Chains A and B, each alone.
Chain A
Amino acid sequence: MLILRRILATLPILLGAAVFTFVLTRVLPGDAASFLASGQASPEEIAALRAQLGLDRPLHAQLMHYLMQLARGDWGQSFTTGQAVTADLLQRLPASLELTFFAFALALAIGVPLGVAAAVRPGSWVDHLCRAVCTAGSCAPTFVVGLLLIYGFYFLLGWAAEPIGRLDALVAPPPTRTGFLLIDAALAGDAAAWRSALAHLLLPGISMALFSVAPLARITRSSMLAVLGSDFMRTARALGLPRRQALFGYALRNALLPVLTTLGMVFSYMLGANVVVEKLFAWPGIGSYALDALMASDPAPVQGFVLLVAALFSLVNLGVDLLGSLADPRAGEAP
């Protein structure tokens, strides 16, 4: 029941997103009809085309028409690729998702332990490192970090893979099953492709992760500090509970609850940062797709991108909500 309610709660957001993109298209300069018709078309032909596209009807009718189209799965066509936007997006989505999940996992793996360690040993070098990372991380623009990493690890040290695309130019991609190179390569048993894919994920992934490490570490640290000073932790000590159990079973579990709510925000930020990172590393994802379309004044892909991102964000938030209610049995109770 709760799940249903939560799902219903995301609908207004999706609706809002659709309305938003609709409003944007009407504001975009350049009449779609004029664009489609070639330069020599007569005004009558353009008018006919406009009527065909439904651009001459009142605004609210156009909105309804637009919403119906979206619901049917018709998200328009890209002028630049000539394909349906949905097809383009679906084809490029796995690339963005793989990168985002990788960066997300990385940020969690670094940020949370760092915050916990800093809280458990206040004033130690770990605590200071945590604070330094939090400050530096939230001040460093993702693209600058990316460039620094490229310069350091690719140009100077030669350790990193060439920062272009998802695979080495000489490595053949594995047969596409999921679109996630790591998974596809593993499924095909292709070690070379797997290693190449991982190598190419590293620099963009780290660039994206660094900015998110900061808020994660900060919230984990403050949450953990609060929990460690709480009454029930004192009880745990008074009972002589083993240190590991008190720290992980009692303290950490409670401390992670506020961190969970941050996860949605972090993922949301990453969906946006995707655009910058994909451009920098020539990553063939939805971000670079939308950006190229934007530069070419091709409106449909941009709308599609915005809608997709809103949908992804809602999905992730839903997931985080559900996780939260699983983790915290108080969820749903009156405070």
Chain B
Amino acid sequence: MTHRRPSWRPSPAQLPLLPAALLLVLALVGPALAPHDPLATDVANGLQPPSAAHWFGTDQLGRDVFSRVLVATRLDMAIAFAAVLMSALAGNLIGAACGFLGGALDRWIGRVVDVLTAFPLFVVAMALVAALGNSVSSVIYATALINLPFYIRLARAEVAVRRHAGYVQAARLGGTGDARILLFVLLPNALPMLAVQMSLNLGWAILNGAGLSFIGLGVRPPTPEWGVLVNEGAQFILTGQWWVALFPGMALFGAVYAFTLAGDALRDLLDPRRRT
């Protein structure tokens, strides 16, 4: 199997990766670029529509919506990344072990996975956050748990297919232990598929995290996070101050879209056979 190193000249196929890259940059340096302090209140100037001074207007406490949306990028990205990384790592190890070793382990984990997928994902998140307490880490764990079955199944399938491949048999014959085969032979081969799935999952994790904070679980005001911002602004929609809720909403949409694009582009780059 050939590994194609990504070229560093931006090709048309790599263009869709830019929005996601931009988001990552914003997550890193965003807070430094914010024109106003996201937490600074100025009630006299509350609920002002978008203007030159405040690009996204102000919320009910006079805080600059643009700065809040910008600063929130970091938290949303961090939550989503942490969750996806966690579930990808854990899921891969568990799934690979299942695919490789089979037997009772495989069967029991399979059953647990089946039970897990029986729950609407949001409900699992709610229940977990209820149990673990209302904090950012709970949301991360919940989002990771939700995604876990997906990665388990993916890794299991990939490994089960390759388990009997020639090079694995050769490694076995050479005396390499099962664990080493798993870690150094099988897993690396599954990586390209993994990268694609992770990117697509990121968008989904962002949606999930924001949804949970919208209903009050996880991140809470006044911490700027997109879901929280939408929640704070929701009541003002009825009175016509759309900017408080809809700008963060658009940011959410944009972020998810960016990562979906990136995921599709990665898929085309890494496995051209799969272009739809």
Residues of A bordering B, CB below 8 Å: 12-13, 16-17, 20-21, 23-24, 27-29, 135-136, 138-144, 147-148, 150-151, 154-155, 163, 222, 268-273, 275-276, 279-280, 290-291, 294-295, 299, 302, 305-306, 309-310, 313-314, 317
Other A-B pairs beyond A155-B239, A222-B276, 4, CB < 8 Å: A136-B257, A271-B120, A294-B129, A309-B123
Cα–Cα, bound, A299→B130 (Å): 8
Q: Which residues of chain B (227-255) have a CB below 8 Å from chain A?
A: 230, 234, 237-240, 242, 245-246, 249-250, 252-253
Most chain A CB atoms below 10 A, which of B211, B240, B260: B211
Residue of B127, B133, B260 near A20 (CB, 8 A) is: B127
* 22 residue pairs from A and B, CB less than 8 Å apart: A12-B114, A12-B115, A16-B112, A24-B127, A24-B128, A135-B260, A141-B253, A143-B230, A143-B234, A143-B249, A144-B250, A144-B253, A147-B234, A155-B238, A272-B123, A275-B126, A276-B215, A279-B214, A302-B126, A302-B127, A302-B130, A306-B123
Chain B residues within an 8 Å CB radius of A271: 120, 123
Write the nearest CB–CB distance from B118 to chain A, whole angstroms: 4
Chain A residues within an 8 Å CB radius of B118: 13, 16-17, 268, 310, 313-314, 317
List the A residue with the shortest CB-CB distance to B261: A135
Cα–Cα, bound, A17→B112 (Å): 10
Residue of B120, B133, B249 near A148 (CB, 8 A) is: B249
Most chain A CB atoms below 10 A, which of B115, B127, B133: B127
Question: Is B109 in contact with chain A by the CB < 8 A criterion?
Answer: no
Interface residues contributed by chain B, number (CB under 8 Å):
43
Cα–Cα, bound, A302→B119 (Å): 14
Residue of A13, A148, A313 near B246 (CB, 8 A) is: A148
Question: Is B27 in contact with chain A by the CB < 8 A criterion?
Answer: no
Chain B residues within an 8 Å CB radius of A138: 256, 260
Chain B residues within an 8 Å CB radius of A294: 126, 129-130, 217
Chain B residues within an 8 Å CB radius of A28: 130-131
Write the nearest CB–CB distance from A115 to chain B, whole angstroms: 14
> Which 8 pairs across A and B sit closest by C-beta, in order of nearness?
A272-B122, A272-B120, A16-B115, A144-B249, A139-B256, A24-B131, A27-B131, A139-B257
Task: Tell me whether A143 and B119 are in contact (CB under 8 A).
Answer: no
Task: Tell me whether A305 and B234 are in contact (CB under 8 A).
Answer: no
Task: Tell me whether B111 and A276 are in contact (CB under 8 A).
Answer: no
List the A residue with the shortest CB-CB distance to B214: A143
Write the nearest CB–CB distance from B50 to chain A, whole angstroms: 15
Residue of B132, B217, B253, B276 near A140 (CB, 8 A) is: B253
Question: Is B89 in contact with chain A by the CB < 8 A criterion?
Answer: no
Question: Is B222 in contact with chain A by the CB < 8 A criterion?
Answer: no
Residue of B114, B215, B246 near A275 (CB, 8 A) is: B215
Write the nearest CB–CB distance from B142 to chain A, whole angstroms: 12
Cα–Cα, bound, A321→B240 (Å): 46
Task: Tell me whether A12 and B111 are in contact (CB under 8 A).
Answer: yes
Cα–Cα, bound, A220→B133 (Å): 41
Question: Is B207 in contact with chain A by the CB < 8 A criterion?
Answer: yes
Chain A residues within an 8 Å CB radius of B196: none
List the B residue with the shortest CB-CB distance to A218: B276
Chain B residues within an 8 Å CB radius of A147: 230, 234, 237, 245-246, 249
| A17 in contact with B122 given A139-B256, A148-B249, A275-B215 (CB within 8 Å) | no
Question: Is B216 in contact with chain A by the CB < 8 A criterion?
Answer: yes
Task: Tell me whether B123 and A275 are in contact (CB under 8 A).
Answer: yes
Question: Is B121 in contact with chain A by the CB < 8 A criterion?
Answer: yes
Chain A residues within an 8 Å CB radius of B123: 271-272, 275, 305-306, 309
List the B residue with the shortest CB-CB distance to A279: B215
Task: Tell me whether A151 and B253 are in contact (CB under 8 A).
Answer: no
Cα–Cα, bound, A269→B132 (Å): 23
Chain B residues within an 8 Å CB radius of A139: 203, 207, 253, 256-257, 260
Cα–Cα, bound, A219→B120 (Å): 20
Cα–Cα, bound, A306→B118 (Å): 11
List the B residue with the shortest CB-CB distance to A273: B122
| Interface 0/1 of B259-271, CB less than 8 Å to A | 0100000000000
Chain B residues within an 8 Å CB radius of A273: 120, 122
List the A residue with the shortest CB-CB distance to B242: A151
Task: Tell me whether B127 and A306 are in contact (CB under 8 A).
Answer: yes
Chain B residues within an 8 Å CB radius of A269: 120-122
Chain B residues within an 8 Å CB radius of A141: 207, 210-211, 214, 249, 252-253, 256
Chain A residues within an 8 Å CB radius of B203: 139
Chain A residues within an 8 Å CB radius of B207: 139, 141
Cα–Cα, bound, A150→B249 (Å): 13
Write the nearest CB–CB distance from A118 to chain B, whole angstroms: 12
Write the nearest CB–CB distance from A150 to chain B, whole angstroms: 5
Task: Tell me whether B121 and A272 are in contact (CB under 8 A).
Answer: yes
Task: Tell me whether A151 and B246 are in contact (CB under 8 A).
Answer: yes
Task: Tell me whether A17 and B126 are in contact (CB under 8 A).
Answer: no
Cα–Cα, bound, A143→B211 (Å): 7
List the B residue with the shortest CB-CB distance to A211: B207
Task: Tell me whether A27 and B132 are in contact (CB under 8 A).
Answer: yes
Cα–Cα, bound, A148→B214 (Å): 15
Cα–Cα, bound, A20→B126 (Å): 13
